[in-house]
């Protein structure tokens, strides 16, 4: 689950992680307002690419909660 503020709404974060880190993305749910948003996203790819993609997302200022965080 990605949680983000309104400043990041115009950035193509999901597209970029798919292209830059060679990941397949699948959006299960999302909710976006002018001020904030969240996306439940599935990532498929090599473990090291997924980790690098998540690290990059965090560096952009998004909060990331993984399945392992919720179990």
Give tens-digit pLDDT for 17-57: 999 999 999 999 999 998 899 999 999 999 999 999 999 99
Token look-up 């060679």 returns 22
Superfamily covering domain 2-66: ACT domain (3.30.70.260)
Domain-by-domain residue ranges, the chain?
Answer: 2-66
Residue 69, pLDDT score: 56
Q: How confident is the model at residue 71 (pLDDT cuts 50, 70, 90)?
A: very low
Q: φ and ψ at 8, to 5 degrees? A: -90, 0
Taking 80 as the threshold, does the pLDDT of residue 68 lie above it? Answer: no
Q: What is the DSSP letter of 11?
A: S
Report d(CA 34, CA 5) in Å as an integer. Answer: 9
Beta-bridge mates of residue 24? 44
Report d(CA 54, CA 43) in Å as an integer. Answer: 10
């Amino acid at each position: 689950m990605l949680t983000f503020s309104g400043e990041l709404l115009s950035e193509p974060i999901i597209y970029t992680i798919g292209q830059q880190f060679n990941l397949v993305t699948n959006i299960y749910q999302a909710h976006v307002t002018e001020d904030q948003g969240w996306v439940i996203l599935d990532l498929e790819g090599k473990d090291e690419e997924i980790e690098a993609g998540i690290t990059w997302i965090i560096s952009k200022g998004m909060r990331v909660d993984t399945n392992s965080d919720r179990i």
